[in-house]
A and B are shown apart, each in its own frame.
Chain A
Amino acid sequence: MSAHRIGRAAAILAAAMTMLTAGSAALAQDAVLKIGFVGPYSGPSAEYTEAGKRAVTMAVDEFNAAWKGKGFQAELVEKDDVSNPTRGINAVNELVSRDKVIAIMGPVNSGVFKPTIPVTTEAGLLHLAWMGQDTEFTRPVAIPNVFRFAQPNFAQAKQLASYMAKKKGLKRIGVIHDNTAYGKPGAAEFIAELKALGVDAVGDESFNQRDTDLTAQLMKLKQANADSILVWAIGNDQATVKRGMLKLGMDVPLYGANSMVSLGFWTVLGDMAKNTYTTYFDTYAMDTRTPNANAFAQKYFKRYGNDKYYGPGKDPYFYLVAPAQAYDAINATLKVAVEVKGDPKKMVAAMQALRDFPGVLGTVSFTPENHDAYGTASFSILDVGPQGPRLLETYKY
Chain B
Amino acid sequence: MLQLLVSGLAVGSIYALVALSYNAIFRTSQVVNFAQGELLMIGGLLTVGLYTWFGMSIWLVFPLGVGLAVVVGLLIERLAVRPLHGKGAGAHGWIVTTMGTGIIIRAAAFIAWGSRDAPMPKYLGGGRVVHIAGVAVSEDEILVIVAVLAILALLELVNRYTILGKALRATACDQEMARLVGIPAPRMVAASFALGSGLAAIGGILLTNVAVSSPYMGIDIGLKGFAAAALGGLGSPLGGVLGGLIIGVAEVLGAFYVSSAIKDAIALVLLFALLMLRPAGLLGRDVIEKV
Which residues of A approach B to under 8 Å, CB–CB?
42-44, 46-47, 50, 179, 205-208, 210, 212-213, 215-217, 219-220, 236, 240, 243, 246-249, 263-264, 267-268, 272, 308
Question: Min CB distance, A133 to chain B, in Å?
Answer: 19
In contact, A47 and B115 (Cβ under 8 angstroms): yes
Instruction: Assess whether B57 is interfacial by the CB under 8 Å rule.
Output: no
Across the two chains, which residue of chain A brings its CB closest to B262?
A: A206
Across the two chains, which residue of chain B brings its CB closest to A266?
A: B119
Cβ < 8 Å to A, chain B residues 219-245? 220
Q: Please, which residues of chain B bring their CB within 8 A of the CB of A236? A: 117, 211-212
CB contact between B127 and one of A210, A215, A243, A249 (< 8 Å): that residue: A243
Q: Please, which residues of chain B bring their CB within 8 A of the CB of A263? A: 117
Question: Min CB distance, A316 to chain B, in Å?
Answer: 16
Instruction: Assess whether B129 is interfacial by the CB under 8 Å rule.
Output: yes
Q: Please, which residues of chain A bring their CB within 8 A of the CB of B256? A: 216-217, 219-220
Question: Min CB distance, A23 to chain B, in Å?
Answer: 37
Across the two chains, which residue of chain A brings its CB closest to B263?
A: A216
Name the 3 nearest CB pairs between A and B, nearest first: A216-B255, A215-B7, A216-B256
Q: Please, which residues of chain A bring their CB within 8 A of the CB of B107? A: 42
Q: List 17 additional A-B contacts (Cβ < 8 Å) besides A46-B110, A216-B254, A216-B256.
A: A42-B107, A44-B214, A44-B216, A47-B115, A179-B261, A208-B220, A210-B217, A212-B14, A212-B207, A213-B210, A215-B4, A215-B252, A216-B251, A219-B4, A219-B256, A246-B129, A264-B117
User: Could you list 29 examples of A-B contacts with CB < 8 Å?
Assistant: A42-B115, A43-B216, A44-B115, A50-B114, A50-B115, A179-B261, A205-B260, A207-B260, A208-B264, A213-B10, A215-B4, A215-B7, A216-B4, A216-B253, A216-B254, A216-B256, A216-B260, A216-B263, A217-B255, A217-B256, A243-B127, A246-B129, A247-B136, A247-B138, A249-B136, A264-B117, A267-B120, A268-B212, A272-B127
Question: Min CB distance, B106 to chain A, in Å?
Answer: 9
Cβ < 8 Å to A, chain B residues 251-277? 251-256, 260-261, 263-264
Q: Please, which residues of chain A bring their CB within 8 A of the CB of B14? A: 212
In contact, B217 and A268 (Cβ under 8 angstroms): no
Q: Please, which residues of chain A bring their CB within 8 A of the CB of B7? A: 213, 215-216
Question: Min CB distance, B187 to chain A, in Å?
Answer: 37
Which residues of B approach A to under 8 Å, CB–CB?
3-4, 7, 10-11, 14, 107, 110, 114-120, 127, 129, 136, 138, 207, 210-212, 214, 216-217, 220, 251-256, 260-261, 263-264
Q: Please, which residues of chain B bring their CB within 8 A of the CB of A249? A: 136
CA A207 – CA B260 in complex, angstroms?
A: 6
CA A297 – CA B254 in complex, angstroms?
A: 47
In contact, B212 and A264 (Cβ under 8 angstroms): yes
Question: Min CB distance, B118 to chain A, in Å?
Answer: 8
Q: Please, which residues of chain B bring their CB within 8 A of the CB of A208? A: 220, 264
In contact, A47 and B116 (Cβ under 8 angstroms): yes
CB contact between B211 and one of A206, A210, A248, A272 (< 8 Å): that residue: A210
CA A305 – CA B14 in complex, angstroms?
A: 38
CA A263 – CA B117 in complex, angstroms?
A: 9
Q: Please, which residues of chain B bring their CB within 8 A of the CB of A207? A: 260
Q: Please, which residues of chain A bring their CB within 8 A of the CB of B114? A: 50
Could you say which of A43, A212, A246, A268 has the most chain B C-beta atoms within 10 Å of its C-beta?
Answer: A212
A215-B4, A216-B260, A268-B212 given; A210·B220 CB < 8 A: yes
Q: Please, which residues of chain B bring their CB within 8 A of the CB of A217? A: 255-256, 260
Q: Please, which residues of chain B bring their CB within 8 A of the CB of A179? A: 261
A42-B110, A206-B261 given; A268·B252 CB < 8 A: no
In contact, B11 and A267 (Cβ under 8 angstroms): no
Question: Min CB distance, A354 to chain B, in Å?
Answer: 32
In contact, A212 and B260 (Cβ under 8 angstroms): no
In contact, A206 and B117 (Cβ under 8 angstroms): no
